[in-house]
Chains A and B, each alone.
Chain A
Amino acid sequence: MSGVHVSTTINGDAYEFVCEPDESLLDALRNRLGLTGAKEGCGTGDCGACSVTLDGRLVCSCLVLGAEAEGKEIATIEGMADGEALHPLQKKFLEHAALQCGICTPGFLVAARALLERHPDPSETEIRFWLAGNLCRCTGYDKIVRAVMDAAAEMRR
């Protein structure tokens, strides 16, 4: 197989990489670009640990081909904080102890940010529905939902 040359934008920066035609965006991010913040929990789009946004749309990067990133804008967990300044969601996840092991956390944060960009004032039910594609085995979700609600409230201020 010969590689596919891809030019894309990740977290605002221009990137180029070569990947296999059947290689997932997740593998390209992790193995070719060293962006290991997105995790592979299942490889089948069930767990959401690999969540990124593609032109603003929330996707499981394990279900997107690396080649599909051509000309697109990708946002990953690595671009969420502004230097030392954490995004309100990141801060609230820490304050609410909304993570235990932390493997699902990048996916939850990326997904939650995508939610708040669309719905700045979501209800608890809306948050639970939006985050239903992200699995967490440690926390039981309660503290995650609280953290997202609190972050939303702070961002509205």
Chain B
Amino acid sequence: MPLDQGAPKKLKFREVGTRPLRPDGIDKVTGRARFGADASAPGMLVGRILRSPHAHAKIRKIDASAAEKLPGVKAVVTGADIPYREGADRWVWMNVMAQKKALYDGHAVAAVAAVDAATARKALKLIKIDYEVLAHVTDVDEAMKPGAPLLHDDIFTKGVEPEPKKPSNVTERYEVGHGDPEKGFAEADVIIERSFKTEATHQGYIEPHACLANVGADGTGELWVCTQGHYMVRDVCASLLGMDISKLRVTASEIGGGFGGKTTVFIEPVALALSRKAGRPVKVVMSREEVFRATGPTSSASMDVKMGAKKDGTITGAFAEFRYQGGAFPGSPVQFGAMTAFACYDLKHVKVIGYDVVANRPKQAAYRAPGAPMAAFAVESVVAELAEQLKMDPLEFRLKNAAKEGTKAAYGPTFGPIGLVETIKACQKHPSYKIPLKENQGRGVASGFWFNFGGQTCVSLNVNGDGTVALSVGTPDIGGSRASMSLMAAEELGIPYDKVRTIVADTSSLGYNDVTDGSRVTFATGLATINAARDCVQKLCARAAKIWAIPEEAVTWENGKAHPAGDNAGKFEPLSLAEIAAKAGNTGGPIAGHCEFNAENAGPGFATHIVDVEVDPETGRTEVLRYLVIQDAGKAVHPSYVEGQFQGGAVQGVGWAL
């Protein structure tokens, strides 16, 4: 969707689109910024988690008595201390602490809080667990076979008729699409059918998960945590531990990378349970090894893709079957994979079937457009081969079949104005595409799609007595969003960027905010910020009206000042935001703007990339020679950080591919 549709007609911006320094910048280059592991509290204990050495094992008995008796140990927690409570997410509950079975290597089975790390480590060694080791399965295709080791005896595949009577590792079957691909293939001159497998790549954020929990004797708690969504953490922890949501205040630390991986809980409920039992603050910091063993990479996938096209380059039909394993619990992003797979193409006949499968691996977590990259890899590989067989330029082939306004997407909706064609054309025109290739060099092009997303958002914008503005948002800033929010608030209010200070507020300060994910924050929190600023402007105008003793409707806001709407309103010198703010105490008290809403109508995002590589035919060593990203990002609020997202995403893609 073009950014200005439904937005104000203002096309020239004063602040938006500039590249000011970010408000959290100084702290981050001086070492002052406080990340998850950087907090401490008086009387703080060290929490450590014991993890299963088996990929699949029944837990017959846990004997923690020796650990409990060790001097310096203040609390030991096992699955029995975190019983299932009505309303909690059963799979998240089972993941944070194993109950009857350990379902993957690294699954938490017990935890201790002790006066120091050495004592905690010693205590973990004293916990005796009687395991009955079971056969395990980690490959998605193996896990789907009849007779595969069964992870859960109560998963009956949903979405199939008739409903299976036997449990299996296949959680759900999804189907999206329209038309009849078989009909499409019958019309095709060329058909390509290929199978692909991708690994369970980890997001690899540099900051391991860390939190500091502090639960008092009255049952109220505080939690400091690196997360992409502290409201989610609060609600999930409260439900797992039987706390009132109002009794748990969660503060998001600076976050050292997430890429989707910090959109759920792992150690947080355990730290709270330890703190509650010990009556002291407990800090839990994962090691890198724990991050890789026990937190969510993306799904590994097994995929079949079949596409057919006519000699003139028209794609006649497309079919795909995706099998994603999401770790030991339901919830792989296979549905997103199925929905995004063919979104770049205008297809008459398209069908995608997706299977969500459980296997003895850590529970997957979101990773940069969850489910989409592997699907795009498979589909774009087939598209490339089709173009090659038809002897068509791969960009020309994509252009011929590109989704555009009016295209009915395989996942249902009919696209409004979208930017895919523009990205392909920009690639065609780019000098990179014309550089001649030498021996052992190759050029790949691919297009990609992501829905984007709005979601629940709440912000508060407070005008200070000196004319500065404090903006509180509830979405953790994972890569510069506070700068973008400050820019948008400054733009709307008509004041300089450096007069607005944006912070990520704790969960007791604002209404619920969805997680920082799905590429939603600049859109949703940005829109909320704009709305809050407009709400604030209305109030500023009302105060000016009061000062001038004229009706509120007779005041307008322009360039950061209240003006009488016209000559009939009376002749008054314009009042600046700072002048109105200085008099707030005498004109009705504090001035603030708010917005709480469900952001809707996020515009879908499309991109086309070109990569040149050189391969050493003897060793297979692949060198990336050049990489071009063309993406429809809408309006770049802070272009430097938009570029940063493109570059960072591309480099992670290179890491995934090579």
Contacts and interface: CB of A to CB of B under 8 A. Distances in A.
B31 A137 contact: no
Interface in A130-148: 135-143
Contacts of B28: 99, 102, 105
A155 interface: no
B257 A137 contact: yes
Contact of A20 (B118, B287, B641): B118
A57 to B, nearest CB: 20
A10 interface: no
Interface residues of A, number: 46
Contacts of B40: 34
B219 interface: no
Interface residues of B, number: 47
Given A103-B257, A138-B644, A138-B648, A44 B288 contact: yes
A120 to B, nearest CB: 20
Nearest to A99: B28
Given A39-B256, A41-B288, A102-B24, A47 B30 contact: no
Q: Which of A47, A81, A103 has the most CB of B within 10 A?
A: A103
B232 to A, nearest CB: 19
A76 B31 contact: yes
B201 to A, nearest CB: 12
Interface in B184-226: 203-208
B255 A101 contact: yes
Interface in B19-68: 19, 21-22, 24-26, 28-35, 37-38, 40
Contacts, number: 135
Given A1-B118, A103-B257, A137-B652, A77 B31 contact: yes
Contact of B34 (A36, A38, A94, A141): A36
A136 B37 CA distance: 18
A157 B651 CA distance: 33
A122 interface: no
A140 B118 contact: no
B31 A104 contact: no
Given A39-B35, A94-B26, A106-B31, A137 B288 contact: no
Given A43-B288, A139-B644, A140-B650, A97 B206 contact: no
Interface in A26-47: 30, 34-44, 47
Contacts of A140: 644, 647-652
Q: Which of B118, B206, B288, B649 has the most CB atoms of chain A within a 10 A radius of its CB?
A: B206
B30 A81 contact: yes
Interface string B477-497: 011100000000000000000
Contacts of A77: 30-31
A93 B21 CA distance: 10
Interface in B620-646: 640-641, 643-645
B205 to A, nearest CB: 6
Nearest to B38: A36
Contact of B206 (A37, A95, A136): A136
B41 to A, nearest CB: 13
Contacts of A49: 206
B643 to A, nearest CB: 8
B207 A97 contact: no
A100 B257 CA distance: 8
Given A94-B22, A100-B479, A40 B30 contact: no
B644 to A, nearest CB: 5
A28 to B, nearest CB: 12
Nearest to A96: B640
B609 to A, nearest CB: 13
B254 interface: yes
Interface in A70-110: 76-78, 80-81, 86, 90, 93-97, 99-106, 109
A33 B332 CA distance: 43
Contacts of B287: 43
A41 B206 contact: yes
B230 to A, nearest CB: 16
Contacts of A99: 25, 28-29
B647 A143 contact: yes
A90 B206 contact: no
A99 B287 CA distance: 23
B286 to A, nearest CB: 10
B259 interface: yes
B257 A101 contact: yes
Contacts of A30: 37-38
Given A97-B640, A103-B206, A109 B29 contact: yes
Contacts of A142: 647
A140 to B, nearest CB: 4
Contact of B256 (A42, A43, A102): A102
- Among B118, B288, B478, B648, residue most surrounded by chain A Cβ atoms (within 10 Å): B648
B31 A36 contact: yes
A136 B157 CA distance: 41
A20 B46 CA distance: 16
B644 A103 contact: no
B615 to A, nearest CB: 21
Contact of B30 (A90, A96, A138): A90
Contacts of B34: 36
Given A96-B640, A97-B22, A101-B207, 14 more contacts: A34-B40, A35-B31, A36-B38, A39-B37, A43-B288, A78-B31, A81-B29, A90-B30, A100-B644, A100-B648, A106-B31, A137-B204, A141-B651, A143-B640
Interface of A: 1, 20, 30, 34-44, 47, 49, 76-78, 80-81, 86, 90, 93-97, 99-106, 109, 135-143
Interface of B: 19, 21-22, 24-26, 28-35, 37-38, 40, 118, 203-208, 254-259, 285, 287-288, 478-480, 640-641, 643-645, 647-652
14 contacts: A20-B118, A39-B37, A41-B206, A43-B287, A49-B206, A81-B29, A97-B22, A101-B207, A103-B254, A106-B31, A136-B206, A140-B647, A141-B651, A143-B640
